[in-house]
Chains A and B, each alone.
Chain A
């Protein structure tokens, strides 16, 4: 008899306890959920302010304008998950972009140029990875050397901007597949495909588990017999190849290669990854979070351009909003940590 009376209460409690079990097991999801929440709040607030912000055209453009940043952030997520950092991504993007533009202007076919650009990015990434792993150089410094190298090489290729006349490359940006008012270009598809591939690799392969394990504790990963050396070099190669791909996308997007592209983009990418909930200490984070992070970043920039603010205010507002995002995230994470205790 008493059992029957108890049932509803115990069931309710079990939902609550199931929630707290879920939260304690998935505590690392909290920052990413916070980022999604922030994105939703930002979008709704912008809609309330401007009225036409949530239009399909505008949201489609949000992804396509930031396609290159998505690709960079995906590559960077791998590196940051192992506890490293790659400052070279912006410069690598500039280098491979101008390299592609220059090779195309010399008449090489697209199907050769794009692999060459990806390989060039991969080689710089490999160099950084070897410095980090084999020679114990701190990732910050090794990738800083990569930054200088790639930026310098970009200027070696050309000091001025090079226009792209190549049809297949321009096709990547000009083609628009539409569903109603929504549209997507091949560049957007490539960016999303990169995210999906990275998601698959990180969560369903041995390599991905090794990446997380290294971030959790390199020594333990080594003692577990995981292939730490190969994986550590590989994440920088992935980041480099992503930089190469971003260079191709940016060149298609802007219709030209320019050696001064992407100065400071590495910081945008790091900010996006962090907003997306990946900890810079490594081991915790999601590549889908990085996509959300880029969208938050892109939304912030778009809101500012909607307001028509000047350059000085743009920088101040981006800084202030980044701070706001981080503090909100911090509070949410602290709450969930307190709940677990």
Chain B
């Protein structure tokens, strides 16, 4: 029990479970999952499916944060990626063709890789502070996306492209399968190879790990490239879901939500130790929270207040100093009780 409480995923998981329990009490159908036409339906499935873009972005953010960096440009990369994909599909003679969609997706991911590599170059080779280096692309990226879509919101009708966000495969939403694939790939590379340890080493002390022979430049560069690619895929899912490329709205504020998810999962922004499972829990917590806010009927403009309050509660629950305070309070209560018992024993004899 004590080891369970000490586990670093304990409090993040408690927050998520508590949210789900509250929701289930408020509306029992929340927990229910039904099978219809060989597809799973239910509030939980919706949360899992809708979380795909945030999940991908947050996974990339986890790796970047592990190297003591931060990537503010993910939302802009999403916008560019969606714009590239939809412009290619829109311009092709046969938007319904699978080949067209494949070309569009591959090109969009390639562009995202270039943008991520650009961030990596600025941070690892030129040595600009990550928050500033990625701020450049955050500011400029949406401009590029607007340029690609010519300032319009490009809409397309392409069944294969729409399938990415709304299709089903083996009973499960296709978007969910994409995020599961991303989680698995990342977990295998970071945890079954030495890459994860090297990433943490770079995050804890870049200079020391460089002296120890770790190619810290390459690892930092790679982290931003991976983050770019994942943001690109997220942009494809987002644009596939709304069947349009909206350069201004795609991925707006997602960098903040992604950072929040990473932190809720227990990864420190100071770099070093990171946990992929924690990020997954963090993303699901945020997505459940969004669905709760929607269900409660809070006016969407005012929902940030609600969101802020919950975030504050969650970080307080995770706060080590609050734990210390609670431990001390418990201990002194226990001591007082034993003192009382001793006093009674003395009186009794």
From A315, A316, A326, residue with most partner B Cβ within 10 Å: A315
B303:A316 contact, CB within 8 angstroms: no
Is A320 on the interface with B (CB-CB < 8 A)?
yes
A319:B140 contact, CB within 8 angstroms: yes
Q: How far is the CB of B78 from chain A (nearest CB, A)?
A: 15
A316:B319 contact, CB within 8 angstroms: no
Is A138 on the interface with B (CB-CB < 8 A)?
yes
A267:B301 contact, CB within 8 angstroms: no
If A270-B131, A280-B131, A316-B144 touch, whether A322 touches B308 (CB-CB below 8 Å) is: no
User: Which of A1-9, A105-113, A142-150 participates in binding chain B?
Assistant: A142-150
User: Which of B103-111, B178-186, B255-263 participates in binding chain A?
Assistant: B255-263
Q: How far is the CB of A121 from chain B (nearest CB, A)?
A: 15
A152:B132 contact, CB within 8 angstroms: no
B132:A271 contact, CB within 8 angstroms: yes
Point out the residues of chain B lying under 8 angstroms from A24, CB to CB.
none
The contact string, 1 if C-beta is below 8 Å from chain B, for chain A 147-166, is: 11101110110010000000
The chain A residue sitting closest to B147, CB to CB, is: A312
Is B307 on the interface with A (CB-CB < 8 A)?
yes
The chain A residue sitting closest to B298, CB to CB, is: A152
The chain B residue sitting closest to A323, CB to CB, is: B136
B319:A137 contact, CB within 8 angstroms: yes
The contact string, 1 if C-beta is below 8 Å from chain A, for chain B 118-147, is: 000010001111011101111111111011
The chain B residue sitting closest to A315, CB to CB, is: B143
Is A40 on the interface with B (CB-CB < 8 A)?
no
Point out the residues of chain B lying under 8 angstroms from A167, CB to CB.
none
List A122-139 residues whose CB lies under 8 Å from chain B.
131, 134-138
The contact string, 1 if C-beta is below 8 Å from chain A, for chain B 56-82, is: 000000000000001010000000000
Q: Is the interface of A mostly helix, strand, loop or mixed?
A: helix
B142:A155 contact, CB within 8 angstroms: no
**A145: which of B129, B139, B311 is its contact (CB, 8 Å)?**
B311
List A304-329 residues whose CB lies under 8 Å from chain B.
310-316, 318-320, 322-323, 326-327
Point out the residues of chain A lying under 8 angstroms from B269, CB to CB.
138, 140-141
Is A222 on the interface with B (CB-CB < 8 A)?
no
B315:A142 contact, CB within 8 angstroms: yes
Is B99 on the interface with A (CB-CB < 8 A)?
no
A267:B315 contact, CB within 8 angstroms: no
A134:B321 contact, CB within 8 angstroms: yes
A135:B302 contact, CB within 8 angstroms: no
Point out the residues of chain A lying under 8 angstroms from B260, CB to CB.
141, 144
Q: How far is the CB of A103 from chain B (nearest CB, A)?
A: 19
**B132: which of A137, A138, A280 is its contact (CB, 8 Å)?**
A280
Point out the residues of chain A lying under 8 angstroms from B135, CB to CB.
267, 270-271, 322
Point out the residues of chain B lying under 8 angstroms from A320, CB to CB.
136, 140
Residues of B within 8 Å of A, CB-based: how many? 48
Point out the residues of chain B lying under 8 angstroms from A227, CB to CB.
none
The chain B residue sitting closest to A268, CB to CB, is: B139
The chain B residue sitting closest to A127, CB to CB, is: B312
B143:A314 contact, CB within 8 angstroms: yes
The chain A residue sitting closest to B257, CB to CB, is: A144
A152:B321 contact, CB within 8 angstroms: no
The contact string, 1 if C-beta is below 8 Å from chain A, for chain B 265-303, is: 000111000000000000000000000000000010111
A267:B319 contact, CB within 8 angstroms: no
Is B316 on the interface with A (CB-CB < 8 A)?
yes
If A138-B268, A138-B269, A149-B305 touch, whether A315 touches B139 (CB-CB below 8 Å) is: yes
A322:B268 contact, CB within 8 angstroms: no
B136:A138 contact, CB within 8 angstroms: no
Cα distance A279–B127 in the bound complex, in angstroms: 13
Point out the residues of chain A lying under 8 angstroms from B143, CB to CB.
311-316, 319
The chain A residue sitting closest to B269, CB to CB, is: A138
Q: What are the 8 A-B residue pairs with the smallest beta carbon separation, nearest first?
A: A319-B140, A315-B143, A152-B305, A152-B304, A149-B308, A312-B146, A148-B308, A316-B143
Pull 10 A–B residue pairs with CB atoms less than 8 Å apart, ordered by A.
A135-B321, A148-B304, A149-B304, A149-B309, A156-B305, A267-B72, A270-B131, A311-B146, A315-B143, A319-B139
Binding site for B on A (CB under 8 A): 85, 87, 131, 134-138, 140-142, 144-149, 151-153, 155-156, 159, 259, 267, 270-271, 274, 279-281, 310-316, 318-320, 322-323, 326-327, 330
Q: A137-B316, A141-B315, A322-B132 are in contact. List 5 more A-B contacts (CB 8 A).
A: A144-B256, A149-B309, A267-B72, A267-B138, A326-B132
